[in-house]
Amino acid sequence: MNEKAYKAMSFAAAANVAVGIIIVVVGTAAGIISIICGARLFKEKRGLTF
């Protein structure tokens, strides 16, 4: 019985680590894309004249 629980917990732990790594990578990529898009918008703002 204990082996079954141990296997289930080890699978859950591995899944949580994998999901955590994916979330960190996606969050970092989203942050970099946001910075790049913001820099482009700021650059285009300089050329505007009213």
In this predicted model, what pLDDT tens digit does every residue of 1-50 receive, in sequence order?
678 888 889 899 999 999 999 999 999 999 999 999 999 998 888 777 76
- Report pLDDT for 30: 98
- Report pLDDT for 1: 63
Report the alpha-carbon distance of residue 33 to residue 36 in Å, rounded.
Answer: 5
pTM over cut 0.85: no
In single-letter form, the type of residue at position 10 comes to: S
Query: In Å, how far are 10, 12, 36, 37 from 1, measured between CA atoms?
Result: 15, 17, 53, 54
